[in-house]
Amino acid sequence: MKSVTVWAGGIVLLVAAWGVTQIPAGQALTESSFVQSVDVTDRAVGRQMAVTVTDVAAAERISDEVGWAADGAWVVVDLSVEAVNTEEGAVLGLATLLIDGDTYRASERPVSLLGKALQVGVPKTGSVAFELPAGMRDGTAVIRFTVSDRDWRLDSVVEFTVDLGSLRWDDERELAPLAGGGV
């Protein structure tokens, strides 16, 4: 009698396991990123890079170390970033700011960390800047960083949330000069 119960229980478990495999996970789940949420000054380590956000500010005008400047509504993120395991393909490939369903990419116009190659164990510091529509000073924004500039599904993503209304808005801000990591 005992062996019949064991066999019946085993068959029930096999059928249940088969049933679970028949339930589709859905595209959003099977293609989602591995997100590390952090606060300012926290260090997040992903698959290919480690990121520490050191400061977040906003300004009506930004400039960089070579003299480029632009007026507008800018969010500036100062950070330290480095490769983790390998330098092959390790770059700060994409930085985005999401607010109210809209996505803004970090500007490629100023000299910044965007697109810079990273080295293992040698932090590179600098800034990235996001240009927002005029007058946008309120709302909750999510800022994300990853190594891929095209497709970050199934990859590590470092993100943090910032309240735009709580940021200090300077008249002018210079982006942090690039330093470290062979710069």
Domains of the chain: 34-174 (2.60.40.1240)
Q: How far apart are the first and last CA of the chain?
A: 75
| Higher local confidence (pLDDT), 48 or 82 | 82
pTM, two decimal places: 0.77
Q: What one-letter code names the amino acid at 100?
A: D
pLDDT at residue number 53: 93
Lowest mean pLDDT among 90-94, 101-105, 128-132: 90-94
Q: In whole angstroms, how large is the CA radius of gyration of the chain?
A: 22
Q: Say yes or no to pLDDT of 141 above 60.
A: yes
pLDDT at residue number 135: 80
- Between CA 28 and CA 126 the distance in angstroms is 33
Residues making up the chain, counted from first to last: 183
